[in-house]
Amino acid sequence: PQPWRHVCGFRSRSSSAVMAEEAKKLAAYAAVDNHIQNNQVVGVGSGSTIVYAVDRLAERVRQEKLNIVCVPTSFQARQLILKHGLSLSDLDRHPELDVAIDGADEVDASLTLIKGGGGCLTQEKIVAGCAKHFIVIADYRKDSKALGQQWKKGVPVEVIPIAYVPVSRAIARRFGGEAVLRMAVSKAGPVVTDNSNFILDWKFEHAQNWKEVNTAIKMIPGVVETGLFVGMAERVYFGMEDGSVKIR
């Protein structure tokens, strides 16, 4: 039997969900084992895949008595760090990180990423930008030849709340598609980020020069950050359906 069918706690879920969870874990464990060493400052990303990375990091810190300092990218990451009793810091005290590890919503052939499915893109980009090495962990569903082939929800863009309508119109006018305000699951109101901003999900119509698009969107007044990570990821670990890990 394949090991992922026996992962504790996931047995009642569909087999594809089980496989994806085990694939996240495989990627996360491999990245932590390959890139974390003693005396490092580590950026901790956000999402569901990073949970496995922090599990493994905490295990290694305990077993190998590593001296690791963690800088979070979100409230969620901060809670994870605290829950595991890891050493919590910030960019004031540690503006230079040795490595940042984070998930992604989609990764193309040249390691351009869409991030921000969880709405933490701004802190994630800041922390990744402060790290010597930015390592991405993902399951096989995030692997894509060209952005938009896998992740159908578009590129997240964090905006200052009063600007969401003009920014949405400016993006659609300039680049096509539609930039839609992200609503809370309850539909009672918009999603509000850790920075008290809103998120637009820009559903683009065709492939673009992502570097230029990223820069141009950032120039629109009211835009805080985009979920396009261009030229930032050094390595991506994909956990695969067959239990292997693919490194790009």
47 makes contact with ligand 5RP (CB under 6 A): yes
148 makes contact with ligand 5RP (CB under 6 A): no
31 makes contact with ligand 5RP (CB under 6 A): no
How many residues bind ligand 5RP (CB under 6 A)? The answer is: 17
- DSSP per position, 47-75: SSHHHHHHHHHHHHHHHHT--EEEEESSH
20 makes contact with ligand 5RP (CB under 6 A): no
CB of residue 65 vs ligand 5RP: minimum separation in angstroms? Answer: 29
**Residue 170: what residue type?**
A
CB of residue 139 vs ligand 5RP: minimum separation in angstroms? Answer: 7
Q: Which two tokens mark 149?
A: 């082939």
Active site residue 124: yes
124 makes contact with ligand 5RP (CB under 6 A): yes
115 makes contact with ligand 5RP (CB under 6 A): yes
Q: Which of 236, 239, 186, 248 is nearest to 52 (CA)?
A: 239
Kind and range of the H or E element at 122?
helix 121-129
CB of residue 39 vs ligand 5RP: minimum separation in angstroms? Answer: 26
154 makes contact with ligand 5RP (CB under 6 A): no
Question: Binders of ligand 5RP among 174-203, rule CB under 6 A?
Answer: none
Chain positions contacting ligand 5RP, by CB under 6 A = 45-49, 102-105, 115-121, 124
The set of catalytic residues is: 124
